[in-house]
Structure 1
Amino acid sequence: MKEGSSEGYLNPGAIAAGCDMFLFTRHPDDDYNSMMGGYKNGVITKDRLDEALTRILALKASLKLNNKSLHELVPDKFWSLNLAEHRRIGIMYNGNRPPNDLLYRTIPGIKGFLMKTLLSLFFKRKKSPRPYEELMGRLNVRGFEASYCSFKDILSVRAAVDKPLDEWTSQFDAIIFLAKWEVMSNQTSLQLQYKAMGFDTLWFAGEVPTILVSLANPYHGYDLSMVKTVINAYSSTPEVYDAVAAKLTGESAFKGVSPVELEFKEPEIVIARK
């Protein structure tokens, strides 16, 4: 992270506080520089650095990792995964082929053709615009250059964020985190679940102006307390998207009063004595 940023202090500060090692890193050069800066500035002392390194090496030695080959560390059965037969098992599950293409493939002749036609009609539905498309369209017609970042493809995400922090943040004037997680009868509370090894966590909230727009659940503030601007829209109808875009651009003032009050309090500990 940047030397002068809050996260530029948090990295070495975490090590100084007792965390021995980070398992994952967004950008190695940024994190290395922040660690070196923390060491030179005295945030990480020499004794603390020696202690962390000793613990890391001792843990590896206790597992005898230095005596194991690559194939011992990764068992042979894992090397054979993702073969053609494995991919065929999940072909319908991962959406690479439409369901009707699998269901009628073993039916011969005219019956197969009729079945194919009926199933195609059954499965072919008009796709509704995705939430980000709804909001992006309304922002773009107002002159913004809104783009969408998908976190489903881990390789694409890695390529997008694997840049120095200054270079990455300079691409944006603001970031909108659009959330549409709806509760159900058997799931009455929701918490954010990050994908792609956490690349979609809001690590950038302190570096780029970030806005949370929730289209369903008004309680995301508990999970995203680092975001200072939150818009609860409560629904995802076209009229709501119109209103959100108008509020974001200042065309309409905020008049609603939130029925939800998020309070962050330290737990009270009561000790009863006889």
Structure 2
Amino acid sequence: MVNLKAKPFNLSNEDITWVETTIDSMTIEEKIGQLFINLGYRHDQEYLKDILEKYHIGGVRYNPNNAETIYEQNKYLQENSKIPLLIAANVESGGNGACTDGTLIGTHIQIGATKDPQYAYQLGYVSGVEGAAIGCNWSFAPVVDINYNWRNPVTMTRCFSDKPEVVLDMSEAYFKGICKSGFAAAMKHFPGDGVDERDHHLLTSVNTLSCEEWDQTYGKVYHGMIEAGVHSVMIGHIKLPAYSRRLNPNLTDAEILPATLSPELVTGLLRDKLGFNGLVLTDASAMLGLTSAMKRSDILPHTIAAGCDMFLFFNDPEEDFSFMMDGYKNGIITEQRLTDALKRILGLKASLGLHNKQRAGTLVPPISALSVIGCETHKAIAREVADQSITLVKQTRAELPLKPETHRRIMLYVLGDDLVFFGQKQQGVKDIIVEELEKVGFEVTLFVPQTAQIAQVKQESAENKQAPVAVQRFKREKVSIFTNSFDAVILFANVQEFAQANYARIKWSSPMSSEIPWYVTSLPTVFVSLHNPFHLYDVPMVKTYINAYAPTRTVIQETIKKILGESSFKGQCEVDAFCGLWDTRI
């Protein structure tokens, strides 16, 4: 059972009295409601009022929007909720995870490349300060996964390193930074992503390490963070067969469940063996790693029975609430398990002082606090992180620097246009790259794939109500025309397949298309990855390869400075960017 006087709660007798009397005063509907973290699809008061009054939610994470919209949402929620809410944000990379105009400080892999935990601290601190300004109080970060498998499409930029000790150092620093702003933190994704190459958004992935291997890697990280006092743990839809079998030798292969549904892993490993006393929540409940395990009517109560305290996201609020209530009435969720979960939920709220802030009317700060969002101080930190992290992974031919004085005419290829973080689509990255290259004096020709040309012609023909003009496909030109027209080639890749495919690899616009790097033997060629740090696997022929880790204007600007030779490369990649191959190093 929970000990509210011990870490991570550290509650006083007065705080514990509030927790216990609040639970005693609740109806069963209110108790069941506290188990849910709602995904806020809308920000209008009619929707928010309905969710609060019908389902009595314990927490919320919301769809992204600008700071003022989220501020007004959170203000309404806290002013109209009987019990103060945990309001979470995915601030893995900075304040941009709390609101679209927040500051992206750096992805986890980018912070790892600085080799300096002070930047992980700054990431946590800025994330918390900007999140708190709009009324958030809970971070779904740090990510404490370990990047063991370069093929994994989830972990590529969301891990600090492929070394447990580095992951722990950076995670502890992030935790200290975000705690300074009054936030709680949820480390994720227990029992650990990064071994399997598959995405647990799309299926139940598997951590195949032995118990001994897990203890020395993921176990080391989790134990260290628990000792540091981390408040909560997000459970991934990931199987850990070795420990499931050790803790329950009678399990058949078919009975081994994702951690979210596994009492062996949540209660046996996390609670009993590692001694975690804090709050446990599930990962998103729409992910196939969970939904394919059993019927949804069984999933909801069985996650709580397994030892999770909160359930992340309704599918349909009315139906899911009913499923959870039925699980309680049918005894899947025992009275003791429900009470224990409620004590942890309210205990976390009390540890943040939410009950006292509710009395004082300070759950959400004054609107003047929004001035910190995207402020110049935070932007300066983001620029410093970019400068310190961008990595020259490979240069086996002297092609840098490229300057307008010597290589004015640039052929530019951009793979993946949208700047996307957790569904936040912003300005196309192609436009930013062209603007920044031209700003420093390059003459840029942006490659337009023939598929895009054909679509444009069709659109223009439709708008003008004319028959479509024929476009010649797969037209080749003389190599000499290409080499006489350009002085160098720069290729930027922003390839992201988050929660959409079990890979994040380069896909060229057409078979044997002209943007494929045939030109590396003819012109100086620089390849820059703005996301996946493992693209050398697909382009081993390039001689100059840069990992920049995030598709932001700041990162692009700092990368161009380094291509120009105006700034040195300082970053050191915290993963094997060569993917274990010999030919990627040539």
Range of TM-score over shorter length? 0.3 to 0.5
Q: Which has the higher contact order (CA 8 A, sep 6+)?
A: 2
**TM-score, scaled to structure 2:** 0.22
More strand by share: 2
